[in-house]
Structure 1
């Protein structure tokens, strides 16, 4: 499922302390929502528990990803032809313990969803759209501007999910496995596309190559 998340970072965060908390909401009709609710309401001694027993994983894709043509490999393709196409990408996997708020009669669910929707609207309006109401900019839209009855109707169709982040793993596949000549050809090829996405991929390849060289002690 693709859903928006809000990240809460502890103010007194330390290297050995909590990493942070992810807050999200999912439609009740979503198959994953149904699976989580079922896991919490069947075959459990503590039927009132809202914490999933199994660890959960949330996947965040990097801002850019792209098909890579073998035509970019200026060393290997002309010398041996032993090349295939691939895909460059980056991703972060976040693991943790999930609490699911799904009891429509619970005031905790109402409190969670109200804060979640308000925070998402604020982030979207101010940080993404730039509607801060300052220096001549438009004022941000707020959930409170919608009819209360309409908002309550929508809330009935969603549940809340909160994840205490316990560990994270990152993965870059940005041509760092290539030889220097093929990698340079890939950078040149993406820059030649003349697109913002191509330029971002090219820069990321250069950064990851530098990281690999440093790690290898070269």
Structure 2
């Protein structure tokens, strides 16, 4: 991914926030195998753990799980078993998880560039979006009979459900909001059976990179045109991206 200085987001807490607000990431691996393609990707919801929330440098650890029947799972298990790493079940090669908020993506027509288009006409369409790329080495919890895997998967499923129920759905149990669904609401034996059909993925992050491509490369007049143009569409996504363009434009002006 291209990280232009005017688009790149250097603040790690901002990137962590984007991940937590958009936990459905795309796990991409490049592992040579006789049983599946070299490059594979799967949509997986993740939990991001950070020891010190006040830290401006800590990247954190991503926890997720994937269906055992997924072809990517089979390659991950194969690679974990064959790994020569000093740490058991840790892959030798890094993996990538991409997080892209769907509400942060929008087409930008040249018609919105009210400053440059009338004068030179030298404008083209583009897309505005934000994204975070998380890199690290993954530990695979593939043995559903081991105490380590059982503990990891039990915590992972419970934490992920709680995050989605409270943060995504808003089921906090406060005021007139209903309470969240919990894993303990389902029969224990049912959960045990489901747990045998997933594997756990724990990624110790060593790189966290992100960008907010929100028309910062354009002149102030053109940025204002994008803000007004997107807002005038009257759509939810248009309103959200309009606000982001305004926010990033103000940030750029404050630094100039």
TM-score between both structures, scaled by the size of structure 1: 0.86
| Residue equivalent to 1:183 | 223
Is 1:2–2:43 an aligned residue pair?
Answer: yes
| Residue equivalent to 2:3 | none
Contact persistence 1:10–1:19 (CA under 8 A): no
Residue 69 of structure 2 aligns to a residue whose secondary structure is: coil
Q: Distance in 1 between matches of 2:138 and 2:212?
A: 26
| Residue equivalent to 2:245 | 205
* Aligned CA distance change for structure 1 residues 71 and 49 (closer, same or farther; 3 Å): same
1:52 to 75, 91, 103: 91
Contact persistence 2:96–2:133 (CA under 8 A): yes
Q: Distance in 1 between matches of 2:247 and 2:178?
A: 37
| Residue equivalent to 1:108 | 148
> Structure 2: which 5+ residue stretches go unaligned?
1-41
Is 1:61–2:89 an aligned residue pair?
Answer: no
* Aligned CA distance change for structure 1 residues 65 and 159 (closer, same or farther; 3 Å): same
> Structure 1: which 5+ residue stretches go unaligned?
none
Please report how far the alpha carbon of residue 137 of structure 1 lies from its aligned counterpart in structure 2 after TM superposition. Answer: 3.7
Q: Distance in 1 between matches of 2:106 and 2:47?
A: 27
Q: List structure 1 segments (4+ residues) > 6 angstroms apart after TM superposition.
A: none
- Matching of residues 70-89 of structure 1 within 5 Å: 70-89=110-129
* Aligned CA distance change for structure 1 residues 190 and 12 (closer, same or farther; 3 Å): closer
* Aligned CA distance change for structure 1 residues 83 and 121 (closer, same or farther; 3 Å): same
Most deviating of 192-201 and 21-30: 192-201
Contact persistence 1:13–1:19 (CA under 8 A): no
Is 1:41–2:81 an aligned residue pair?
Answer: yes
Q: Distance in 1 between matches of 2:55 and 2:173?
A: 35
After superposition, the C-alpha distances for 1:119-140 in whole angstroms (9 at most, x for unaligned) are 1222222333333334454232
Q: Distance in 2 between matches of 1:144 and 1:122?
A: 11
Number of matched pairs: 214
Residue 249 of structure 2 aligns to a residue whose secondary structure is: helix
Please report how far the alpha carbon of residue 83 of structure 1 lies from its aligned counterpart in structure 2 after TM superposition. Answer: 2.5
Is 1:123–2:173 an aligned residue pair?
Answer: no
Contact persistence 1:75–1:182 (CA under 8 A): yes
Q: Distance in 2 between matches of 1:68 and 1:137?
A: 37
2:136 to 96, 99, 104: 96
Q: Distance in 2 between matches of 1:114 and 1:140?
A: 17
Cα-Cα RMSD: 2.4
